[in-house]
Structure 1
Amino acid sequence: MTLTALPTRRPAAVRTHGATALATRPAVAIAPTPAPKPRIRAVPDGVKRPVRAVPDGTEARGFVLYVGLGEGAAAADQIELARLVSELRTLTARLAPSAETHAAVALAPAGSGGRDVDVVRRALQDPAVQQPVAEPDSGIVIDLSRKRVAIGDDIAPLTYKEFELLQHIVLREGSTVGREAIIDALWPDEDDANRPNERTIDVHVRRLRAKLGDYAEVIRTVRGSGYRFDRHADVTVLADGPSPDRF
């Protein structure tokens, strides 16, 4: 219910011939006061609104941060990739103790060019980036993600250890890998009784080369040192998925 003030008369001071007399005058009517509009409270400074940019019916389970940083750029920044990964994990654990983390290194042929971050996105199979496809009959294709070697239209019948041996050397392109280093990488948990010797590695390499046929020289022998993989025009290395070498 709205109330309106009725006219009233109230005394007013009137000056007459030096004397002050009381007079009356109509009072002003008071108009109804409209109800106040609701006020929207502003978010206090320093308080952030929650961000939830996901479709209805879904929930966020985590995120991927693509970090493009080649070995040369990392060296120029005076930091190793392993240290960068470790510090990012430490920061995540401090800010969100419940978070689970997983890191993988993206590999690409030396000198292949392109932006580092795009290489990482392709390696982690980002659907927004076109994946590289090997041309048919393009020599020998070493597919690290599918763990197979294609020679033309045929798949080389490599054993698990033979592929692991090939992969270990290929991932260290241009570097000589010693026999002892291969043993440590492929047989890390073997005791001395079951641990292979360097001559055993030579046997594995010989069998591997036999299955590579015309591409046996993909694995080169560095006399007195070990083995090395060098880039060839007719050799394609695919690493579309997460790198086999992980932190």
Structure 2
Amino acid sequence: MSIALAHVRPSHPATRPTHPAAQRFAGPRPAAAVPTVAPQPAAAQPAAAQPAADVAAARIRSVPEGTEARGFVLYVGIDEAKAAADGTSLHRIVEALRTLTAELSPSAETYAAVALAPEGAGGRDVDVVRLALQDPSALARQREAQGLSDDADRHPDGVIIDISRKRVLLDGEPAGLTYKEFELLQFLVLREGRTIERHELIEGLWAGEDEVPNERTIDVHVRRLRSKLAHYQDIVRTVRGIGYRFDRHADVSIRQASTPSPDVF
């Protein structure tokens, strides 16, 4: 397995390279590393004492005019065996990064996802992570290497469940699913053939959220999803008294990257 930790709110613009926690987890900076913010002059005041104009000047250089940085993604490539050999685990790494983030910027929010791959799959861990977590540049390179184009994804009749692009096409037309409706369908698709109980859907899709639905609300979400699937709605089966199951038909095509889309870590 591999982990990517995404921050959905930016940390303070000024960097604090001498923070003991940063030294503990980040290690020494390689000699060829390029800082993401403009270096301070030798006579500059500490970041906390700088006027607002100086702090604004330390923004990330790659942010285009008219936009603002709202966070970042850090892809971490390491499988469970390598983590164990290093005397740690994926969970401990995630918690350490979250702790460090909270120390550096208490106002930051974090979200972590685990990237899954078939056992024995080759390739660099970090490349597997980027593909599984739908990094645009990694997906573009993969499609270019495979000689794929948008036309290759077209399907005149039937259902395309495009996990890599987070969309569903019905006879070539977008189904117009909401984010949560797609996540619900994806959860079932990635567990094809299994009957998923309602409580498992709640734990898998609403874990950590402020408003957690009850099992009756899950039925409402599924009913809305099925209505948008129109005459293909029977790909989501109701198993009476238990839950729901995805049934693949001959006219259903599933598109995804070389590794499965991750579930919430």
Could you state the TM-score of these two structures normalised by the residue count of structure 1? 0.49
- Structure scoring higher RCO (CA < 8 A, sep ≥ 6) equals 2
Could you state the TM-score of these two structures normalised by the residue count of structure 2? 0.47
Higher Cα Rg, which structure: 1
